């Protein structure tokens, strides 16, 4: 099994929600339901640098958004991980992903952190996961980084694991807009 951290592909335009939503206390994707809290909103792409529009967009420095046709191809995978919250970018329907699946799977003893003056844990430098604690849902968050990152477990031992694998779905469809940064492998 491999685990990847999802990152924006900066070769593509980034997406932003309108300011009143972006600056609100409800625009926090920290593994808590937002369906009844996040107001309806519009979004826009920053096209000032001439970068192309992606299939999967990094939304407001917080989560990823999926164009309607992309979300429809991965509905089961995305909905198993959390909420798909609809919004519009211009006239086009998109969905932002609020990951609710949380695995307390980071091995604190084997993982390594960066520290601030030797006292406060800042960032995880070396990830070691207990793969037994990562269940069948391929997208998840961990409490060790305050639910700030989205991780993807890549398992392919069975047909079911391949069919429900976010990593495989993105690559098979050649969707653009995100990068998978490997943070752990037990292979």
**108 pLDDT exceeds 80?**
yes
Strands (E), the chain: 2-8, 15-17, 42-45, 56-59, 63-67, 82-89, 92-99, 112-116, 120-126, 139-140, 151-154, 178-185
Model's pTM, two decimal places?
A: 0.93
Q: Do 45 and 62 meet the contact criterion of CB atoms below 8 Å apart?
A: no
Cα(17)–Cα(88) distance, integer angstroms: 9
Tens of pLDDT, residues 119-160: 788 889 999 999 999 988 899 999 999 999 999 999 887 777
Q: What is the pLDDT of residues 32-51, one digit of tens each?
A: 999 999 999 999 999 999 99
């Amino acid at each position: 099994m491999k685990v990847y951290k999802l990152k924006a592909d900066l070769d593509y335009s980034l997406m932003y929600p309108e300011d009143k939503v972006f600056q609100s206390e409800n625009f926090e994707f920290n593994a808590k339901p937002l369906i009844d809290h996040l107001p309806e909103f519009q979004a826009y792409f920053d096209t000032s640098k001439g970068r192309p529009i992606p299939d999967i967009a990094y939304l407001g420095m917080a989560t990823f958004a999926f164009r309607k046709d992309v979300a429809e191809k991965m509905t089961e995978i995305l909905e198993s991980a959390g909420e798909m919250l609809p919004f519009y970018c211009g006239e086009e329907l998109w969905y932002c992903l609020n990951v609710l699946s949380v695995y307390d799977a980071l091995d604190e003893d084997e993982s390594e952190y960066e520290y601030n003056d030797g006292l406060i844990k800042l960032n995880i430098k070396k990830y070691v996961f207990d793969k037994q604690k990562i269940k069948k849902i391929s997208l998840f968050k961990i409490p060790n980084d305050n639910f700030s990152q989205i991780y993807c477990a890549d398992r392919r031992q069975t047909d079911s694991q391949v069919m429900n694998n976010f990593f495989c779905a993105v690559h098979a469809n050649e969707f653009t807009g995100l990068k998978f940064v490997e943070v752990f492998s037990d292979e």
